[in-house]
Amino acid sequence: MTLVKLDANGLRNLHPITLEPRPGLNYLVGENASGKTSLLEAIYLLGRARSFRTSQINQLIQFEQPELTVVGKVAPQDQNATLPIGVRVARGKREIHVGGRIAQSSAELLQAFPLLVIQPAGIALLEGAPKLRRHFLDFGVFHHDSRYLDYWRRYTKALNHRNALLRSGKARELAPWNQELTRYGIMIHEARRGYLERLAPFFHEIGGRFFSDPRFELRIHAGWDVTRSLEFVLESDIAADLRYGHTQSGPHKGDFSILLNQRPVKAYVSRGQMKLLVYALLLAQSRLMEEQVGTAGCVLIDDVASELDEPNKRILLELLQGRLTQFFITATGREIIEEGVSDDAAVFQIAEGRITQAQNP
């Protein structure tokens, strides 16, 4: 799905704005603190119903404003019909609209407008907690397998029941929940494993553009010792789980890693190279959505100049050309992007929270 129109009101330092982007490349140019990242945040809010900069969504509301609203229209690449979507955030309240009705969960928004963000803090995907990498996997599997959300909801329900029994010390009542966790836990792990296998060729192809010797391997970690059945592991862990009051094994503890020479890349590569690996992962995910899942989404790239040196910036811009995916890229100066602006790209100038469409170089 492509964003064809965005209206935002009451968000951070932005004046009320209307944006009508192109399907392909869209450059957002302006000085620091001009509102570029806030505009990306508005787009992200429209697709995820949350911010990529803060966990406190109320912080997005403009000072002295009672609420913020972000409304948009998205459309498939091969159809003229558009789907209205929107998010309203008031103090202590969030409301999501999809297709003219209130959505029951953000999953409907994720399905309608899938998007990813690449930002300076994005290196946490590889250096941060496993939870971030699970989210990366789950986002990809969610768009690949329509059954996955049901698997995850059923697993989470069983996990919550099991943890409640552990906290109450009711070990004798765990057996049926162990079976339920095993059933859906295996489904979740197999879906993640299959997704990572499908992602790997795209990751290697894109990584090969950034690295001259890309000997990287993607490896899934189930969240338990897969040489034993999950049900056996859950039974074996009961004594320890009772002490801790929660379930220690299962796909809710899953992860994946990038290896170089069979060892985690942290031991071998620089921080700059870690950033390139994050680019490769996220761009690979968008390519997989285009070519195998059949859905082209949106990718937000914040502050490309500070993230990449000149050679790698040129490689990135080449990778973005001719894609079905829609891109929004921020930069502080037009000279940073001139070599990447083609006839089908749009350039928007942002100053003091206001946006105007500029002429291409």
The share of the chain scoring above pLDDT 90, in percent, equals 71
Q: CA 212 to CA 198: how far, in whole Å?
A: 22
Q: CA 268 to CA 274: how far, in whole Å?
A: 10
Question: Residue 340: pLDDT above 60?
Answer: no
Instruction: Match 């603190």 to its residue by tokens.
Output: 33
Tens digits of residue pLDDT in 74-133: 987 666 789 999 999 998 899 999 999 999 899 999 999 999 999 888 899 999 999 999
Residues 6+ apart with CB under 8 A from 79: none
Question: Residue 294: pLDDT above 90?
Answer: no
Tens digits of residue pLDDT in 248-268: 999 999 999 999 888 888 878
Q: What pLDDT score does 196 carry? A: 97
Question: Where are the domain boundaries for CATH 3.40.50.300 in the chain?
Answer: 1-114+295-361
Q: How far is CA 137 from the centre of its chain?
A: 9
Q: What pLDDT score does 115 carry? A: 93
Q: What pLDDT score does 202 carry? A: 95
Tens digits of residue pLDDT in 137-181: 999 999 999 999 999 999 999 999 999 999 999 999 999 999 999
CATH number corresponding to 129-294 = 1.20.1050.90
Tens digits of residue pLDDT in 181-197: 999 999 999 999 999 99
The type of residue at 261 is N
CATH number corresponding to 1-114+295-361 = 3.40.50.300
Q: What pLDDT score does 208 carry? A: 93
Contact predicate 192/220, CB 8 Å: yes
Question: Where are the domain boundaries for CATH 1.20.1050.90 in the chain?
Answer: 129-294
Q: What pLDDT score does 237 carry? A: 97
Residues 6+ apart with CB under 8 A from 115: 43, 44, 47, 48, 297, 298, 299, 300
The type of residue at 240 is A
What value does the mean pLDDT take over residues 186-212?
95
Average pLDDT, the chain: 91
Question: Residue 341: pLDDT above 60?
Answer: no
Question: Residue 337: pLDDT above 90?
Answer: no
Q: What pLDDT score does 343 carry? A: 64
